[in-house]
Amino acid sequence: MATERPGRPIAPRPQPPRGFRPDIQGLRAIAVLVVIAFHAGVPGFGGGYLGVDVFFVVSGFLIGGPLVATILETGRVDLAAFYARRARRILPAALVVTVATVIASVLIASPIRLAQIATDAAWAASSAVNIRFAMQETDYLNGTAPSPLQHFWSLGVEEQFYLLVPLLLIGLFALTRRSGRPAFALGLSILAASFAVCLVLGDSPWNFFSLATRAWELGAGIFAALAVARLSRLGIRATELLAILGATMIVLGIALGGLPEFPHPGVGTLVPVLGTAVLLAVGGTARGAGTLVARGLGLRPAVAIGTLSYSLYLVHWPLLSLAGESVDHVTTPTPIEVGALMLVAVVAAWLLHRFVELPFLRRADPASSRPRRSIVAGLAATAVVAGSLLAATPSLASVPLTSTRDAMSRAAEREPQGTPYVPRNVSPTLAGAVDDTGLLYENGCQQDKASAELVVCSFGQESSGPDATGATDVATVVLFGDSHAGRWFPAMQAAFAGQPVHLVTLTKSGCRSIESASTWADSPNASCSAWRTAAMAWIVDESPDLTVLADHLGRPVAGREDRYEQQWSAATASTLARFPDPTRVAVLAETPEFDVSPPICLARHPESADACDEPRTRAVNASAVRAVRSAAEAAGARFVDFTDWFCNAERCPTVIGNHLVYGDEHHVTATFSASMGPVVRDALLPSLGAVPR
**DSSP characters for 520-538?**
HHS-SSHHHHHHHHHHHHH
Report pLDDT for 257: 85
Query: Which residue, among 33, 638, 693, 679, has the nearest Cα to 345 in the 3D structure?
Result: 33
Report pLDDT for 145: 80
pLDDT > 50? residue 1: no
Same domain, 461 and 383: no
Q: Which residues pair with 210 in a beta bridge?
A: none
Amino acid at 218: L
Same domain, 268 and 377: yes
Last residue of a domain, one of 379, 396, 413: 396
- The band of 366, judged by pLDDT with boundaries at 50, 70 and 90, is very low
Q: Say if residues 173 and 75 touch (Cβ distance below 8 Å).
A: yes
Bridge-based pairing state of the strands 446-447 and 475-481: unpaired
Q: Say if residues 493 and 503 touch (Cβ distance below 8 Å).
A: yes
Amino acid at 653: P
Contact residues for 107 (Cβ-Cβ < 8 A; gap 6+): none
Report pLDDT for 55: 97
Q: For residue 26, what is the enclosing H or E element?
A: helix 22-39
Average pLDDT taken over every residue of the chain: 89
∠ at Cα 181 (284, 172), nearest 5°?
Answer: 95
351 within domain boundaries: yes
Q: Say if residues 54 and 33 touch (Cβ distance below 8 Å).
A: no
Contact residues for 179 (Cβ-Cβ < 8 A; gap 6+): 7, 9, 10, 11
459 within domain boundaries: yes
How far does Cα 119 stand from its chain's mean position? 17
Q: Say if residues 382 and 155 touch (Cβ distance below 8 Å).
A: no
Q: Say if residues 447 and 455 touch (Cβ distance below 8 Å).
A: yes
* Distances, alpha carbon 241 to alpha carbons 201, 248, 249, 251, 682, in Å: 35, 10, 12, 15, 71
pLDDT > 80? residue 5: no
Same domain, 616 and 521: yes
Same domain, 202 and 281: yes
Same domain, 289 and 381: yes
Tens-place pLDDT, residues 172-198: 888 776 556 777 888 899 999 999 999
Report pLDDT for 466: 57
| DSSP 8-state assignment for residue 475 | E
Q: Say if residues 397 and 415 touch (Cβ distance below 8 Å).
A: no
Tens-place pLDDT, residues 512-551: 999 998 888 888 777 899 999 999 999 999 999 999 999 9
Report pLDDT for 446: 97
Alpha-carbon distance of 126 to 111, in angstroms, equals 24
CB count within 10 Å of CB 659 equals 26
Q: Percent of the chain scored above 70 by pLDDT?
A: 92
How far does Cα 349 stand from its chain's mean position? 26
Alpha-carbon distance of 668 to 434, in angstroms, equals 10
Alpha-carbon distance of 63 to 158, in angstroms, equals 10
Torsion, CA 286, CA 291, CA 297, CA 303, rounded to 10: 40
Q: Say if residues 481 and 489 touch (Cβ distance below 8 Å).
A: no
Same domain, 389 and 440: no
Same domain, 118 and 69: yes
CB count within 10 Å of CB 438 equals 22
Report pLDDT for 472: 67
1 within domain boundaries: no
The total number of structural domains in the chain stands at: 2
Q: The dihedral of CA 540, 542, 544, 550: what is its sign?
A: negative
Radius of gyration (Cα) for the chain, nearest Å? 29
* Distances, alpha carbon 45 to alpha carbons 49, 222, 386, in Å: 8, 28, 34
Tens-place pLDDT, residues 336-355: 988 999 999 999 999 999 99
Q: The dihedral of CA 618, 590, 678, 434: what is its sign?
A: negative
pLDDT > 60? residue 482: yes
**DSSP characters for 576-611?**
HTTS-TT-EEEEEPPPP--SS-HHHHHHH-TT-GGG
Q: The dihedral of CA 460, 463, 464, 467: what is its sign?
A: positive
Report pLDDT for 18: 54
Domain ranges, residue 652: 433-688
Same domain, 377 and 508: no
Q: Give helix 309-325 / helix 300-307 axis angle, nearest 10°.
A: 70
666 within domain boundaries: yes
Q: The dihedral of CA 388, 394, 397, 400: what is its sign?
A: negative
14 within domain boundaries: no
Q: Give helix 215-231 / helix 51-59 axis angle, nearest 10°.
A: 60
Q: Say if residues 516 and 545 touch (Cβ distance below 8 Å).
A: no
Quick one: average pLDDT of 397-419? 87
- The band of 69, judged by pLDDT with boundaries at 50, 70 and 90, is confident
Same domain, 224 and 367: yes
Same domain, 272 and 347: yes
Amino acid at 258: G
Report pLDDT for 637: 95
Q: Say if residues 18 and 228 touch (Cβ distance below 8 Å).
A: no
CB count within 10 Å of CB 408 equals 9
33 within domain boundaries: yes
Question: Residue 168, class by beta-carbon neighbours within 10 Å (0-12 exposed, 13-18 middle, 19+ buried)?
Answer: middle
Report pLDDT for 688: 83
Contact residues for 686 (Cβ-Cβ < 8 A; gap 6+): none
- The band of 675, judged by pLDDT with boundaries at 50, 70 and 90, is very high
Report pLDDT for 473: 79
Alpha-carbon distance of 266 to 383, in angstroms, equals 35
419 within domain boundaries: no
Q: Say if residues 48 and 257 touch (Cβ distance below 8 Å).
A: yes
Same domain, 541 and 591: yes
Q: Say if residues 576 and 632 touch (Cβ distance below 8 Å).
A: yes
Report pLDDT for 390: 87
Bridge-based pairing state of the strands 651-652 and 614-615: antiparallel
How far does Cα 468 stand from its chain's mean position? 54
* Whole-model pTM over 0.75: yes
8 within domain boundaries: no
Same domain, 598 and 498: yes
* Distances, alpha carbon 519 to alpha carbons 44, 214, 515, 516, 523, in Å: 26, 27, 6, 5, 5
Q: Say if residues 418 and 430 touch (Cβ distance below 8 Å).
A: no
Contact residues for 480 (Cβ-Cβ < 8 A; gap 6+): 506, 507, 513, 535, 539, 547, 548, 549, 550
Tens-place pLDDT, residues 222-262: 999 999 989 999 999 999 999 999 999 999 999 988 776 78
Report pLDDT for 372: 79
Q: What is the CB-side half-sphere exposure of residue 472 using CA atoms within 13 A?
A: 15
Tens-place pLDDT, residues 143-167: 778 899 999 999 999 999 999 999 9
Last residue of a domain, one of 369, 396, 423: 396
Report pLDDT for 307: 96
Q: Say if residues 642 and 676 touch (Cβ distance below 8 Å).
A: yes
pLDDT > 90? residue 10: no
Q: Say if residues 415 and 649 touch (Cβ distance below 8 Å).
A: yes
Contact residues for 189 (Cβ-Cβ < 8 A; gap 6+): none
Q: Say if residues 228 and 287 touch (Cβ distance below 8 Å).
A: no
CATH number, domain of 653, equals: 3.40.50.1110
Q: Percent of the chain scored above 90 by pLDDT?
A: 68
Last residue of a domain, one of 367, 396, 425: 396
Quick one: average pLDDT of 442-463? 91
pLDDT > 60? residue 14: no
Query: Which residue, among 615, 593, 592, 612, has the nearest Cα to 603 in the 3D structure?
Result: 612
